[in-house]
Structure 1
Amino acid sequence: MKGLITIEKLKLKVTIDRPIGYIDDYNNCYPLNYGYISGIIGGDGEAQDAYIISKNAMMPLNTFEGELIAIITRNDDIETKWVVSDVGASYSVNEIADKVNFLEKYFDSSIELIQ
């Protein structure tokens, strides 16, 4: 199920712990920056995870500041993943799905856009 959530877009700072090019223990290579948001606890009891989708962040980063544009709910997991992008940027559900498929293909996920 894919939908739309109407809430205020949060301005967030993401600490990148898996930069572009990172290879995880399952041999997944990250084509985008991925990290966490300090001070917000996710479903696993750890800091909330976030994918960074940005035309201005096509190199490995240490941090990224932007706004929440989507929430990915993993229906077969306890976590949600947030999608953070440049302020004012917008992506379709399909564009986001294409960019996060390298990991989300292993889960039953749905994407909700923040408007």
Structure 2
Amino acid sequence: MIGDIVKVTVDRPLGSYHPKHRDIYYPINYGYVKGVLAPDGEEQDAYILGVDQAIDEFTGKIIAIIHRINDIEDKWVVCPVDCTFTKEEILEQVFFQEQYFQTEIIM
């Protein structure tokens, strides 16, 4: 799936807060891929990197998978097709949420 182009519906835009955990601020856009079910039974979650404004939806390339070792679900990392990020850059941008989990980034 790395390299695939997907459309992400953004339900937590840049600048918003988590609906249940009000202390989690989203410095990047975050959403889900309609029609793709994750192991938790919900649609596949995705972080969007390389977009510096709040958006409603985004079509981009999957560049990495964040595998949560101590959780049931993984997160996809999606960005514009002409962008690249290192593992370190990805981790820095998703740390606001991934700090609560033991993760590995698969590229």
TM-score normalised by the chain length of structure 2 = 0.94
Whole-Å separation in 2 of the counterparts to 1:15 and 1:40: 12
Moved more, 69-78 or 22-31: 22-31
Instruction: Return the offset for 1:22.
Output: 1.0
Q: 5+ residue gaps in structure 1?
A: 1-6
CA-based RMSD: 1.0
The total of aligned residue pairs comes to 105
Whole-Å separation in 2 of the counterparts to 1:68 and 1:44: 20
Match of 1:49 among 33, 36, 45: 45
Work out the percentage of aligned pairs sharing the same amino acid: 43
Equivalent AA in structure 1 for residue 100 of structure 2:
Y
Instruction: Return the offset for 1:88.
Output: 2.8
Q: Are the aligned partners of 2:11 and 2:31 in contact in 1 as well (CA < 8 Å)?
A: yes
With over 3 angstroms needed to count, the CA separation of the structure-2 counterparts of 1:77 and 1:61, relative to structure 1, is same
| Larger RCO: 1 or 2 (CA < 8 Å, sep 6+) | 1
Equivalent AA in structure 2 for residue 65 of structure 1:
T
Equivalent AA in structure 2 for residue 52 of structure 1:
I
TM-score normalised by the chain length of structure 1 = 0.88
Instruction: Return the offset for 1:8.
Output: 5.6
Equivalent residues in 2 for 1:32-47 (5 A)?
A: 32-47=28-43
Whole-Å separation in 1 of the counterparts to 2:26 and 2:59: 19
Q: 5+ residue gaps in structure 2?
A: none
| Counterpart position of 1:30 | 26
Moved more, 38-47 or 91-100: 38-47
Whole-Å separation in 2 of the counterparts to 1:91 and 1:8: 13
Equivalent AA in structure 1 for residue 72 of structure 2:
I
1:54-96, Cα deviation, whole Å (9 max, x unpaired): 1xx2111000110100000000000000000000311100000
With over 3 angstroms needed to count, the CA separation of the structure-2 counterparts of 1:29 and 1:68, relative to structure 1, is same
Match of 1:91 among 85, 89, 99: 85
